[in-house]
Copies of this chain bind each other. A is one copy, B any other.
Amino acid sequence: MDIKEYLREKKVLVDSFLGDYFEGKSRPAVLSEAMNYSLQAGGKRIRPILCLAACEACGCNSSDIVSFAAALEMVHTYSLIHDDLPAMDNDDLRRGKPTNHKVYGEAVAILAGDALLTEAFGIFAEPSSFIKAGAQLAAMKELSAASGMKGMVAGQVQDMLSENAEPDEETLRFIHRHKTAALLSASVRIGAILSGAQAGVFEAISTYGDSAGLAFQVVDDILDIVGETEVIGKPRGSDEKKQKLTYPRLYGIEKSRSIAEGLVAGAIESLRGFGREADPLRGIASYLLSRTH
């Protein structure tokens, strides 16, 4: 299959939901403007797309769950806005554009992040004619677990505590698993949960999510060193400058590439019981890897 075409198509689907979702929707207007600014700042919508692809791998119609998938992008966007704050990573640029607080100020940026997170849960609670209420609750639990104190937020706290620290394999793995992989992996699982996947199918999809999620972060670390600013949307080497704990810092570029290859191979292997309906998931994993070459 043409994975680039698939990614493009699904991105259009997600963007059409997000497009005017916040337009003129808040008083004061600056709040939804700030929310929309970061949401429309050129994300690849990889979490929503993983969610849609997992739904298809389970034999379901992904257009039934676009709102849930799009809500995952809101959670991701909130985390980026907060991570970029002066008190955290203090980044001025994100995806090549001024960060939220650079445009709207710190207070509005914090609140825009808060509101994006809150809205995402609101969307997950919206009654749906396609999804059973019990499945919605389970999906929401997954989202909360992946993004809260035992997931993404924990990863971000550990990441900050580890700046300038001696590289240490276990800590690195903790940060990556929590800060990035948890939500990516949850996106895949949520697609399966909303599709009503049975235990065996869910297990396989879940294993795929864990491996692909971690691979994604390793690839991101590599791109921070070898990528072009236009591709990665922030100045090359910005992790290095902050002495962030990364795979290349600990293992070097070549070994990091091998690790990513191993993770992607594992992700694809976990889908061996699936037919062509899982081709998008397979394609996304391979595509990830191709970005590092």
A residues 1-57 touching B (CB-CB < 8 Å): 22, 25-28, 30-32, 35
CA gap between A158 and B111 in the complex, in Å:
11
Whether A107 contacts B88 by the Cβ 8 Å rule is yes
Q: Convert A113-155 into 0s and 1s, putting 1 for each residue whose CB lies closer than 8 angstroms to a CB of B.
A: 1110111011011110000111011101101110111100110
**A-B residue pairs in contact (CB < 8 Å), sample of 12:** A27-B154, A27-B158, A28-B161, A30-B157, A32-B149, A35-B149, A107-B160, A113-B114, A114-B153, A119-B144, A125-B137, A126-B137
Residues of B with C-beta under 8 A to A31: 149, 153-154, 157
Whether B149 contacts A26 by the Cβ 8 Å rule is yes
Cross-chain contact of A118 among B88, B126, B144, B157 (Cβ < 8 A):
B144
CA gap between A174 and B28 in the complex, in Å:
10
User: Distance in Å from the Cβ of A2 to the closest Cβ of chain B?
Assistant: 37
Copies in the complex: 2
A78 and chain B: residue at smallest CB distance: B114
CA gap between A22 and B31 in the complex, in Å:
31
A156 within 8 A of B: yes
Residues of B with C-beta under 8 A to A25: 149-150
Given contacts A137-B127, A160-B107, contact A82 B148 (CB under 8 A): no
Q: How large is the interface on A (under 10, 10 to 19, 20 to 34, 35 or more residues)?
A: 35 or more
Extra pairs beyond A26-B154, A118-B149 (12, CB < 8 Å): A22-B149, A25-B149, A28-B161, A78-B114, A85-B107, A107-B160, A108-B157, A110-B110, A113-B114, A119-B149, A121-B144, A122-B141
A109 and chain B: residue at smallest CB distance: B87
Residues of B with C-beta under 8 A to A115: 148-149, 153-154
